[in-house]
Structure 1
Amino acid sequence: MTALRPERESDTSYGQQSYGVPGASEDWSGGAYGADPRPGRQPRTPPYSPEAQPYAQGPEARSHAAGPQPYEPRPQTHEQGPQPHEPGPQPFVPEPDPGPYTAAYGAGAGESFLPPVDEETVALRIPDPPPADGEAPGEPIPGSRAASGARQGGPAPGGRAARRKAAKRRHGRHGSAAEAPAPATGREGARAPLSRVEARRQARARKPGAAVVASRAIGEVFITTGVLMLLFVTYQLWWTNVRAHAQAGKEASSLQNDWASGKRNPGVFEPGQGFAILHIPKLDVVVPIAEGTSSKGVLDRGMVGHYAEGALKTAMPGDKTGNFGLAGHRNTHGEPFRYINKLAPGDPIVVETQDEYYVYKMASILPVTSPSNTSVLNPIPTGSGFTKPGRYITLTTCTPEFTSKYRMIVWGKMVEERPRSKGKPDALVS
């Protein structure tokens, strides 16, 4: 091991020794201080002389060196006196690489230096930020001195429990630091993984209770019921009309084609068989008349039914006297009588058969009556205003709209009988 160099143990600059030490005024060759063995060099003047004059050689230099000195020299660990020196150029000896603190704070070679301790003072200072959510109170905050100390291997702040928790977070419970997963960031990532028992407990807690299940079932039943009711209303108010109009139109065309070809003859008709066509010009109604008042066989198919059964049997249009009674829907299934309440006295009502046109004039109306009031179908209808036998027509339907609680009655009196060979009556032409 190389011994310490004299010039590094003194407080003087490189290559000089302290005063008061034997051989201090001599250079490395053993001569006087001002002598320079190298050719062409001038004697050196000490930079610390007050007069900036070179000292005398020999004994004067020694006597001067024995005088009072500004500081006490340190003990030397090497032999005092002249040092052996080979004349000529000297080899360059590199200085040792100073450490991070040696270079920063000016420590000499071979000397270690520790950074100053950050002692508490009365001056203002920036406090460390509080721990984030999910961090233990003893966990060092990233960027703080405690965190840097933990990274450099220093003890973790806090007690033994805090240091043990910090070590477990860094290295895992059984693995090393390399095996430990990277810490997750964010509020959710800071939570520890759940155990199986805790996961099952939370899964059971998330399951809805019996009351919630019952309320959901009831709600679904209500929603389903509402949807079904909406579909039913749509069917009744829209689809039944579409289907009834199609069926009624088909029956009317079939009647006219049969009349033109002579296939049908006047006489007794079967229930549900069409035999005439009703025209109400004011309401733009053209609908077939069928035998009977059955809902499925006649009325629901969009046609008007003739009262021809039992005690409610009424006369035919071709009879010389009597009351020709008809029934029809006011709502749904073609609703041919929906607006008969808008008829006024004198409005024409025409019944077209295979051979004749029978023209009636509206006479009176009964807005509301009981469904059991069958006297409105008498040969001389009760409440119609007619007082003697004649050729009458009676139109019956339900009221109010969309209900069947009561009946509305409209009466008319025949004013014209016109053969088809003479063409249509004026009520249909105009």
Structure 2
Amino acid sequence: MRVVVRTVSELCITAGTVIVLFVVYVLFWTGVKADHVMDDQIARLEDRWSQSGTRPAPTPAPGAAASDPPAQKPYKSGEPFAIMYIPRLGFTWNKPVLEGTATGTLKKGLGHYAGTAQLGEKGNFSVAGHRRTYGDPFKNFPELRRGDAVVLTDGTTWFTYRIDKGPYKTVPTDVEVIDPVPEKSGYSRTGRYLTLTTCDPEWGHSHRLIVWAHLDSTQPVEAGKPEALRR
């Protein structure tokens, strides 16, 4: 009996140790790795932009109403093409945006839903991100409010979107949230929209949290940072 009790106790201790190590891996180590990977993606983008000798056609002056941006090349699957800033989530918060929402892609940053509009174009530029694990990019997603700025840059232009609705709770099967004119967004006609999505609850995926925004203004990077990033 003593041998049995001792064996069971040792197995429980071993199992407990494995569980603790797994929790540490999920909560801490994946975040450390993801932060390093995202920093690397941003560094790659900034290096690419600094090496590029091409510039798009002139963009509107700072604060001007958005108009048709220069034609963009198709984004490459799994590759970064923009950096997102959300002041509400902290002025040090910035994440790379990559093409696609595959599991491997979302480990490197935020993912652009393939088939939705490109940055600044008419339609719905839609982006997904993890709420927890892999750097917790959208950990504080519920704090977003109407009027908050979501700023992106592709290295040549700043795009400032303003949130109109959300966080709105829905289910994963409600794919209409990334339609060109999302039915429940409050928009009634074609425009230049942004949709952000993440999982809910915090450690689950039974639902989704959504925010919708419209393109408020654009300006060339040569003009400096947009007002939303200078406060």
TM range (shorter): 0.7 to 0.9
Of 30, 34, 37, the residue aligned with 1:247 is 37
Paired with 1:378 and 1:259, the residues of 2 have a C-alpha distance of 31
Q: Which residue of 2 aligns with 1:235?
A: 25
Does the 8 Å CA contact 1:279/1:349 hold for their aligned counterparts?
yes
Of 107, 112, 117, the residue aligned with 1:300 is 107
Paired with 1:264 and 1:290, the residues of 2 have a C-alpha distance of 21
Q: Which residue of 2 aligns with 1:364?
A: 165
Q: Does 1:272 align with 2:78?
A: yes
Task: Give SS of 2:10's match.
Answer: helix
TM-score (norm. length: structure 2): 0.88
Q: Does 1:415 align with 2:216?
A: yes
After TM superposition, list the pairs within 5 Å mapping 1:30-429 onto structure 2.
211-262=1-52, 266-284=72-90, 285-296=93-104, 298-301=105-108, 303-308=109-114, 313-319=115-121, 321-429=122-230
Paired with 2:47 and 2:35, the residues of 1 have a C-alpha distance of 18
Does the 8 Å CA contact 2:100/2:111 hold for their aligned counterparts?
yes
2:159 partner amino acid: Y
1:264 shift after superposition: 8.1
Does the 8 Å CA contact 1:340/1:410 hold for their aligned counterparts?
no
1:367 shift after superposition: 3.7
Deviations, residues 372-421 of structure 1 (Å, cap 9, x unaligned): 11010011112111111111100100111111121111111110011222
- Structure 2 CA distance for partners of 1:263 and 1:272, relative to 1, 3 Å: farther
Does the 8 Å CA contact 2:120/2:215 hold for their aligned counterparts?
no
Q: Which residue of 2 aligns with 1:33?
A: none
- Structure 2 CA distance for partners of 1:224 and 1:263, relative to 1, 3 Å: farther
1:300 partner amino acid: K
Structure 2: stretches of 5+ with no match in the other structure: 56-71
Percentage of matched positions with identical amino acids: 37
Task: Give SS of 2:198's match.
Answer: strand
- Structure 2 CA distance for partners of 1:346 and 1:332, relative to 1, 3 Å: same
Deviations, residues 60-94 of structure 1 (Å, cap 9, x unaligned): xxxxxxxxxxxxxxxxxxxxxxxxxxxxxxxxxxx
Deviations, residues 86-138 of structure 1 (Å, cap 9, x unaligned): xxxxxxxxxxxxxxxxxxxxxxxxxxxxxxxxxxxxxxxxxxxxxxxxxxxxx
- Structure 2 CA distance for partners of 1:374 and 1:264, relative to 1, 3 Å: farther
1:220 shift after superposition: 1.6
1:238 partner amino acid: F
Paired with 1:350 and 1:264, the residues of 2 have a C-alpha distance of 22
Number of aligned residues? 213
Task: Give SS of 1:277's match.
Answer: strand
Paired with 1:380 and 1:212, the residues of 2 have a C-alpha distance of 69
By relative contact order (CA 8 Å, sep 6+), the higher-ranking structure is 2
Does the 8 Å CA contact 2:161/2:214 hold for their aligned counterparts?
yes
Deviations, residues 111-167 of structure 1 (Å, cap 9, x unaligned): xxxxxxxxxxxxxxxxxxxxxxxxxxxxxxxxxxxxxxxxxxxxxxxxxxxxxxxxx
TM-score (norm. length: structure 1): 0.48
Does the 8 Å CA contact 1:345/1:363 hold for their aligned counterparts?
yes
Structure 1: stretches of 5+ with no match in the other structure: 1-210
1:288 partner amino acid: P
Paired with 1:357 and 1:349, the residues of 2 have a C-alpha distance of 10
Q: CA RMSD in A?
A: 1.5
Does the 8 Å CA contact 1:348/1:359 hold for their aligned counterparts?
yes
Paired with 1:264 and 1:382, the residues of 2 have a C-alpha distance of 38
1:222 shift after superposition: 1.5
Paired with 1:341 and 1:385, the residues of 2 have a C-alpha distance of 19
1:366 shift after superposition: 4.2
Larger radius of gyration: 1
Does the 8 Å CA contact 2:142/2:167 hold for their aligned counterparts?
no
Does the 8 Å CA contact 1:366/1:383 hold for their aligned counterparts?
no
Paired with 1:330 and 1:238, the residues of 2 have a C-alpha distance of 14
Task: Give SS of 2:35's match.
Answer: helix
2:106 partner amino acid: L
